[in-house]
Amino acid sequence: MTAHRSLLGLTMGDACGIGPEIIVRLFGREPVLDGVVLGDVGVLRTAAARLGSLTPVAAIERPADRAQVPPGCVPVLPVPRLPADLAALPLGRVDARAGAAAARCIEEGVALVQAGELAGIVTAPIHKEALAAAGIAYPGHTEMLQALAAAGGAAPPVRMMLANDQLRTVLVTIHQSLRSAIDAVTFDAVLQTLRIAHRAAAAWGQPQPRIAVAGLNPHAGEGGLFGDEEIRIIAPAVAAARAEGIDARGPFAPDTVFMRARHAPDHPGEFDLVIAMTHDHGLIPVKYLGVEQGVNVTLGLPFVRTSPDHGTAFDIAGRGVADPSSLAAAVRVARQLVAGALSGASAPP
């Protein structure tokens, strides 16, 4: 495996949040020898100074220069066309300049992957309000990455997966109001989600994953008493997926299916993945188990992308208490997925 085929780009995230400091803490705790940071050198150096960290921050000219940087150093590839004076922005506040910079880092990361200089990207947290303030038309990472992956052609269908050692959840709908999300739960959307999840699972060594499908309504509709989406939409999509050889089952009551799927030391789960209809249905169970090991994975992209299972944490930015564990988990999963893409199999995230 050559260096460029396994090298990861870590975008610095929102400069006013905890992204830069958890990156510095991660490199100081467990040097990421296969990673370069895409961002602003001044922001990373300021973050290190606030932490009282002795971890040096070095500017590099291209990703391949990572090999020349000592293990205990943060290698930063300066992203062109970033707003000026990012390091002077006040922490813990929405700022359009930070939003614009975060978007530019993501764009640069995708461009470097598409150019073959990076194997994948790990994105530090961004703030959706800052993106909007900067005039960025995407509500989050997932939608932006989908558009960038299109490269002028048709955008690939993608889905958001949140995963930890105990549970993996893939979402049919993501960043939209609950009212609009219900309308977005269609036969095609559910079936497409099942196909994407089934294909993606091979990258972590499960070519035939057992997939549970959660319902939309309480008790999965209770035979139509509490809504008929399960009867009209979800069950037919599950049947269509099974006809294609996908091991999909359900719809199950969303208030109990996650307990059945959870892999605990004394309780092996019945399923390898759960498909959830809406954002909070799927993410609350995973986050409740602990954000420190949670990882967000974008399924369906033509490259690897992971991120931590938390946001910018404006309330603690700059206090030196932000935990880099979820970022470390995101790097670990990205490595596994890159290895899986190159070898055809990988360890489960």
Q: Dump pLDDT digits (tens) for 268-291.
A: 999 999 999 999 999 999 989 877
CATH architecture of 165-289: 3-Layer(aba) Sandwich (3.40)
In the predicted structure, residue 345 carries a pLDDT above the cut 60: no
Q: For residues 182 and 180, what is the distance between their CA atoms, to the nearest angstrom?
A: 5
**Concatenated DSSP letters of 88-116:** GSPTTS--HHHHHHHHHHHHHHHHHHHTT
* pLDDT for the residue numbered 139: 84
pTM (2 d.p.): 0.90
Q: How far is CA 30 from the centre of its chain?
A: 21
Q: Dump pLDDT digits (tens) for 309-320.
A: 899 999 999 999
Domain ranges of the chain: 1-154+303-349, 165-289
Q: Dump pLDDT digits (tens) for 54-102.
A: 999 999 999 999 999 998 899 999 999 999 999 999 999 999 999 999 9
Tokens found for residue 9: 């780009």
In the predicted structure, residue 346 carries a pLDDT above the cut 60: no
Question: Region 193-207: what's the mean pLDDT?
Answer: 91
Q: Which residue intervals of 167-324 are DSSP H helices? A: 178-184, 187-201, 229, 235-243, 257-261, 279-288
Question: Region 318-334: what's the mean pLDDT?
Answer: 94
Beta bridge partner(s), residue 59: 76
Same fold, 1-154+303-349 and 165-289: yes
* pLDDT for the residue numbered 265: 85
Q: Which CATH class is domain 1-154+303-349?
A: alpha beta
